Structure 1
Amino acid sequence: MRSNGLSKEHVHSITREALETLTYQKYGDSPTIKSYTNWKLFEENSPLKLPIEANAGSVEIKANVLISGSEAKFDLPKGVELSEGTLGLSQPEESRILGFHFYALKKAYRLKITEDLLEPLVIVSHLSEGAFISHHISIEAENVKAPIIIYDMGEEGTKSFVVEIKAKNAEFELLTVGKHKGLSHYLLRASLGEETRVKAFTIISGGKMSHHREDYSLEGAKSELVLRGMPISINSAVDYLTNVLQYGEKTVGETRVQGFSYENGWTVHRGVAKVFESAKGSSSEVNSHIIIMDKGSLGVSVPMLEVDTGEIENASHSSSVAQFDEDALFYLRVRGLTRKEALNLFVHGIGEALSDHLEKLRSKARSNIKELTEGLL
């Protein structure tokens, strides 16, 4: 891969003294925003206690953007421009974890997509050493169509990865794959301008503690988001947050999450959908369902819908936490499958159904589902 010459823009920073004034969450008592992340682990493995530099590890994925440890390499296709800096959609003063992120951040990279992409733009964030490492990528696009794949991979240490997206009159197909063993903090924050359409699918294989948050702001008229999420915890923990804020008229927000918890796993989904008064003629939906695959595992589903306008096209939300259907398992087992094979087939099948709304990335989404589910259960 080649490194590109970069134009530089300001990157936020924060002092050690300012960090001491920040909390992980401002309002921890409300049941809808109660913290399910074990922040004590992040405190014990913060950039104040761990090295903030690391060597690049071995990554087999062919990437256009590869950030591993403290090193970054680029092999960008035609129609993607590179510079340094952020879009300013996230600030260090928001929370202690973002304060840690910007405190440890060495460089932030901006990608500008200037023409339609026929092949997926592949971005990899990776850590394989016992350090606290921050990675930050911003993507901006206007009047283009682009498929994007984001891999968030952590084998050791603590990794914070922030992705900022700003789009107008654009169409994105977005596949996010989280595969963790250690501690991970992930924030995707997107601003969708008028007539921007995003089809997103997220699959997360939790680590020791995985805090994964996606914020979408539908600011322009007729902007649309279709989000499917699949958090999986096997003897691990995932706290998955989705926030969809609708400001523009005739916007569409649709979130559906199906999570799984197994072998003392801890899977949480907290989904917020809010339609503001200015979003007349909009529709909003948030569905959250967690399946507990065995005794000893935990599932939490907390969807919340708030509508400030009476001129709404549609608004709904649903929630469930259920035990795995043992009758379905028995049906598969009498046909010769082992328990693990039957559970893998069950999870894989739901994952394929969730990813069906993706077009260009469908085969890649299914292969990632297969990789993350087979052999894990």
Structure 2
Amino acid sequence: MFIGKEALERLTYQKYGDSPTIKSYTKWKLFEENSPLKLPTEAKAVKVPIKGHIVLSGSEAEFNLPAGVELSEGTLGLSQPEESRILGFHFYALRKAYRLRIAEDLRTPLVIVSHLSERAFVSHHISIEADNVKAPIVIYDMSEEGTKSLVIELKAKNANLEILTVGKHEALSHYLLRASLGEKTSVRAFTLVKGGKMSHHREDYSLEGAKSELILRGMPIAIGSSVDYLTNVLQYGERSKSETRVHGFSYKNGWTVHRGVAKVFESARNSSSGVVSQITIMDEGSLGVSVPMLEVDAGEIESAFHSSAVRQFDEDALFYLRSRGLDSDEAMSLFVHGIGEALSSHLERLRGKARGNVGELIKGLL
């Protein structure tokens, strides 16, 4: 899929105005200054700290696929370059897209690693098909230098999937997970992202089939950095269910934003939907923004709820931890890490099965 410079120049980062609900909190100027029109679009591969079945480092790719996973080239077509300028940049810089088909149940996670450590604009693109299978998937999204764009497309039917995404950024990062959930598909997703200079992290889920289900837990963290975390859930299938709960943290002049949309269309009768968004500001000078949105068009609905909160860190809890011999940074890290562990029961199961020491990587986020 190709886009030329002329078509790219006509694209904007967002198509709508600067209203309070759809305002863009990503610092797009930084992406403009570090776009594929100004940076090299190829980079060398380096050794990454995580072992994976698919390792995309710089412009190179390595594959060591488990039995039951088939590899080809191409995309599922769930994302298009004409959608926005950042996706235009992604496809403009993209050299090759890879397509995976999970043909049988996986006992251990399929591990995907995306990494960049050079001043360049590099795009990585993985599409995954999963029909009538059970499979855990772990995605590591790491950027140290330059600008990296990672797009994951997922199409599942009658499948049971667990997805753990760990983002560790220092530079600029664009991430898009776009998933289509067919009939009787269940997805349990946990996302943990430490923002870099500017991290734009977006997850789109379309619950198209009857009895499709999504449980999403997210934890964006900005420690002297910026992360704009978007979750979009669209429900079309009858008796579909979704629940999104995000708890973000801002510290040391960090900037954490969560914008979460849940929309139940008229065809999604007898469905349930909810989005809960909370940001904890750990100190003065940090920013937290929470914007959950719920829209229900179906006349018959099982349940629907949404809530928003932006609050200051509990100083009494901090005093208690420090009185036990921890310094301020240790106390903050312990608190944030403890919240992250509590957000999802399946995190430990995925951590225990994953290749490499994901526990150390998660600790390194804090």
Name which of 308, 324, 334 aligns with 1:345.
Answer: 334
- Name the counterpart of 1:271: 260
Is the contact between residue 291 and residue 323 of structure 1 (CA under 8 Å) also seen in structure 2? yes
> 2:41 is matched with which residue?
52
Displacement of 1:364 after TM fit?
6.5
Question: CA separation of 1:375/1:142 partners in 2, compared to 1, >3 Å: closer, same or farther?
Answer: closer
Distance (whole Å) between structure 2 residues aligned to residue 335 and residue 158 of structure 1: 41
> Is the 8 Å Cα contact of residues 67 and 125 (structure 1) preserved in structure 2?
yes
Residues 372/28 of structure 1: CA separation in 2 closer, same or farther (3 Å cut): farther
Residues 300 and 321 in structure 1, CA contact (< 8 A), matched pair in contact too: yes
Cα-to-partner distance string for 1:135-178 (whole Å, 9 max, x where unaligned): 00000010000000000000000000000000000011000011
Q: 1:199 is matched by which residue type in structure 2?
A: R
% identical equivalent positions: 77
Alignment of 1:208-219 (within 5 A): 208-219=197-208
Give the Å deviation of 1:93: 0.2
Distance 2:71 2:17 in 1: 39
Residues 1:114 and 2:103 aligned together: yes
Q: What SS does the aligned partner of 1:102 have?
A: helix
Aligned length: 364
Change (3 A) 1:210 1:260: same
Q: Does the Cα contact within 8 Å between 2:117 and 2:143 map onto a contact in 1? A: yes
Query: Once structures 1 and 2 are overlaid, which stretch shifts more, 271-280 or 335-344?
Result: 335-344
TM-score (norm: length of structure 2): 0.97
TM-score (norm 1): 0.94
Which residue number corresponds to residue 214 of structure 2?
225
Aligned residue among 173, 179, 185 for 2:162: 173
Q: Identify unmatched segments of 5+ residues in structure 1.
A: 1-11
Cα distance in 1 for partners of 2:336, 2:365 equals: 12
1:252 aligns with 2:217: no
1:179 Cα deviation after fit: 0.5
Q: Tell me, yes or no, if the aligned pair for 2:110 and 2:136 is still in contact at 8 Å.
A: yes
Counterpart in the other structure of 1:6: none
* Cα deviation code 1:284-323 (max 9, x no counterpart): 0100000000001000000000000121111000100001
Q: How does 1:94-105 map to 2 (within 5 A)?
A: 94-105=83-94
Distance in 2 separating the partners of 1:375 and 1:188: 21
Inter-partner Cα distance in structure 2 for 1:150 and 1:371: 12
Cα distance in 1 for partners of 2:286, 2:175 equals 23
Three-state SS of the structure 2 residue aligned to 1:360 is helix
Q: 2: CA distance between counterparts of 1:296 and 1:359?
A: 33
Relative distance call for 1:239 and 1:369 in structure 2 (3 A) is farther
Mapped contact 2:168–2:365 kept (Cα < 8 A):
no
* CA distance 1:84–1:130, change in 2 (3 Å): same
Counterpart-to-counterpart distance in 2, 1:138 and 1:352: 29
Is the aligned partner of 1:289 residue 2:288? no
Task: Report the equivalent of 1:192.
Answer: 181
